[in-house]
Amino acid sequence: MYDFGSLSDLPKSELYEELARAATALVDGETDAVANMANLSALIWQFVPDLNWAGFYRRIEDELVLGPFMGKPACIRIPLGAGVCGAAAASGETQLVPDVHAFPGHIACDAASRSELVVPVIVEGGVVAVIDLDSPLPGRFDEEDAQGFARLAAIAANVLA
């Protein structure tokens, strides 16, 4: 139904441009948060290379609760401040972790994960969710990935209010 071609062949700068375009089209006119998070997870999984987990945790009171994702079954509840996701949710700051084994309190949902990027989804100044990306490659994510996913988080923010 949605055919976005082969974005994964593009250089990183163009990949995130096209991914933002595709994400905008995908959520256009749809207000159901679960449906939008599910489709955004699938889009990321299809086009962003070298991931072993990609998806959402939603902030519910003092916890993050697992949302739609692609990858292996994962930890369901993460206290705010715990692990990489909890650090992103508590601080409202993107967490770029080149080596998860060096991150104090990292929560290993999939033993294959070696690096991680977590981007907060912010609505009206508050974190409502995080986008979590795990890779089996050490140092998989850089500042360009962080900026690219910040754009996706802004698109998600419009449909997760």
Binding region for ligand SME (CB under 6 A): 53, 74-75, 78, 83-86, 106-107, 109, 113, 116, 132, 134
Residue position matching structure tokens 């062949």? 9
Give CA torsion, residues 89, 93, 97, 101, to 10 deg.
-40
Closest distance of CB 75 from ligand SME, Å: 5
Closest distance of CB 130 from ligand SME, Å: 9
Distance of alpha carbon 115 from alpha carbon 33, whole angstroms: 27
Cβ-proximal residues to 3 (8 Å cutoff; 6+ apart), any chain: none
Closer CB to ligand SME, residue 84 or residue 152?
A: 84
Closest distance of CB 135 from ligand SME, Å: 10
Distance of alpha carbon 100 from alpha carbon 133, whole angstroms: 12
Closest distance of CB 155 from ligand SME, Å: 21
Closer CB to ligand SME, residue 10 or residue 65?
A: 65
Polymer length in residues for the chain: 161
Closer CB to ligand SME, residue 17 or residue 63?
A: 63
Q: How do 53-60 and 63-71 pair as beta strands?
A: antiparallel
Closer CB to ligand SME, residue 122 or residue 131?
A: 131
